[in-house]
Amino acid sequence: MASAYAQFCDNIADFQKLSDQERSYIRQLLETKTQNEVFNKDDLQYTTGVSVDELSEISKKAQFLYALFHFINTEEIDLSAEWRTYTTDLLNRICVLLRPLTGKWIWAQDEFVETKSRWKLQQEYRKTALNLLKALAEVLEYLYPVFDNLDSRTVVEAIATYLLPEDPWRTSESNRIAKSLIEMYTPVPFDTEDIGKQILAETLRPIFKSAKHKNVSSAGRHSSSREHELRIPFDIDDELPWTSQRPEAASLLHFVLSSADTKFMSDNWPLLVPSILAIIDDVDPVYKTRGCSTLHLLLLKVNPQVILVTGIAGIFWDALMACLAYLPLGSSNVTVTESVNLLDITYTDLILLSSIRSQDTGSKTVPTDLVSVVDAREIQKRQSKYLGSIIIEGIYSGMRLCGEHVEVADLLISKLGIIAKNMDIYFVLYLQVVSL
């Protein structure tokens, strides 16, 4: 049976791409197995009767690598430099294969989606990714004594791609495995803060280099010379690298910011601002939601003075306000779930941003202690003006247009309660609008 497995692997395209030395070693490794070796056929889906033509390219890659590491993990650990180099090279192959399929992903399932070939391919990829993650988990445990030879950035990127439960390329099981891996290997041997810097510099910077905003300068500041130009989001047919070539880029950016500190945010401000705005400007409500959740991390962690001094608060505000129009109307393709998820994080960001903007004294140099310079009541009055615009342009319009969608109405009412609490006495100015 071992010989049959070796012959089967020999017909797979990925096996042909290996070096002669690698192929020789794998064949020798397989041949040493006894005829009575018990193979996990349910996981590997390997039988000698399966034709290579019956397997998709994705399945061939995944099953080959999973089978390979199944065999490798049965061997005793060899700490020789040659073996470590060989094994870590194969580990990197798994990490590359864990990158989601290129092209636009279908995020939501509807009554017509199951007939689409793209959806079927995605479904198959989810199974493949799960097997690859299982293999990755086994190999990481196997290589733990020699972590110094691993490309930590590549490994963490592969794991982080499956950490967010909303992403369409993961399953609940792959999400669980990814979370357990990141918890097991951080902060040692994987320092996520240090690796986050590497991911941003080496992976995300090239992907988002074309993400530019008309009202944002190369330094991540508000460009006053262009403040009257219209903000034009990316065209629906644009092939954007962060949505088609590397669809996991937005998830990686979210991961990087989740492990970053205030200094990291400030140091990388010129890259973070246009990247986040580009994701929010995407026409897909799911990408908008990811962009808004990433912006939320930025607003929570970055020093408010940075936002005020750079004059970027107004641009963030405009981008968020545009998201409030994503309601499940009859003429739109936005589902109730997509609308609720997007509106939830958008209102949360707007309320937080209103608090930051209310501390702007209009001075180019923002004082260290803003509260001591401007009376607290004056700050609340300023914030109430921003919150009032949210009520009129968001809550009021949303309640009029949400129709029979109770989930949307329920969310809007809950957000109105939070806004009223923040406005305090100034909420009475908008009672008439609310009553309507």
**Average pLDDT by consecutive 10-residue portion of the chain (436 residues)?**
41 48 49 38 35 40 52 50 63 81 77 70 83 79 62 88 91 93 77 84 91 80 56 53 89 92 89 93 91 95 90 93 88 84 96 90 52 66 89 88 86 91 82 68
Q: How remote is the C-alpha of 61 from its chain's centroid?
A: 24
Question: What would the two tokens of residue 28 be?
Answer: 């020798």
Closest CA to 236 of 306, 333, 329: 333
Residue 331 lies in a domain: no
Residues 181 and 195 in one domain: no
Host domain of residue 391: 350-436
The pLDDT value given to residue 224: 61
Residue 275 lies in a domain: yes
Residues 219 and 173 in one domain: no
Residues 245 and 354 in one domain: no
Contact 206, 275 (CB under 8 A): no
Helix (H, G, I), strand (E, B) or coil at 222: strand
Residues 94 and 242 in one domain: no
Q: How many CB atoms lie within 10 A of CB 8?
A: 21
The pLDDT value given to residue 114: 63
Residue 58 lies in a domain: yes
Residues 290 and 421 in one domain: no
Q: Give the C-alpha separation, 122 to 264, whole Å.
A: 35
The pLDDT value given to residue 294: 96
Q: In terms of C-beta distances under 8 Å and separation of at least 24 residues, what long-range contacts does 276-280 make, across chains too?
A: 277/211, 277/213, 277/216, 277/315, 277/316, 277/319, 278/208, 278/211, 278/213, 278/234, 278/240, 278/242, 279/242, 279/250, 279/253, 280/319, 280/320, 280/323
Residue 365 lies in a domain: yes
Query: Which helix H or strand E contains 20, and what residues bound it?
Result: helix 20-31
Question: What would the two tokens of residue 217 be?
Answer: 């300068």
Amino acid sitting at position 81: A
Q: Give the C-alpha separation, 370 to 375, whole Å.
A: 9
Residues 162 and 236 in one domain: no
Q: Give the C-alpha separation, 202 to 196, whole Å.
A: 10
Instruction: Give this prediction's pTM.
Output: 0.76
Contacts of 204 (CB under 8 A, 6+ apart): 249, 252, 253, 256, 271, 275
Residue 391 lies in a domain: yes
Q: How remote is the C-alpha of 302 from its chain's centroid?
A: 19
Residue 342 lies in a domain: no
The structure tokens 């034709």 sit at 51
434: left (phi over 0), alpha (psi -120 to 50) or beta: alpha
Domain-ending residue, one of 135, 169, 189: 189
Residues 172 and 298 in one domain: no
Residue 235 lies in a domain: yes
- Domain count along the chain: 3
Q: How many CB atoms lie within 10 A of CB 257?
A: 24
Residues 162 and 99 in one domain: yes
Residues 130 and 166 in one domain: yes
Residues 100 and 206 in one domain: no
Domain-ending residue, one of 161, 189, 217: 189
The pLDDT value given to residue 13: 42
Q: How many CB atoms lie within 10 A of CB 184?
A: 13
Q: Give the C-alpha separation, 273 to 314, whole Å.
A: 12
Residue 341 lies in a domain: no
Q: Give the C-alpha separation, 281 to 232, whole Å.
A: 9
Residues 179 and 69 in one domain: yes
The pLDDT value given to residue 175: 93
Contact 297, 259 (CB under 8 A): no
Q: Give the C-alpha separation, 62 to 125, whole Å.
A: 9
The pLDDT value given to residue 2: 41
The pLDDT value given to residue 289: 94
Question: What would the two tokens of residue 220 be?
Answer: 């991540």
Residues 151 and 290 in one domain: no
Domain-ending residue, one of 160, 189, 218: 189
Q: How remote is the C-alpha of 360 from its chain's centroid?
A: 32
Q: What is the DSSP letter of 201?
A: I
Question: What would the two tokens of residue 401 be?
Answer: 């247009």
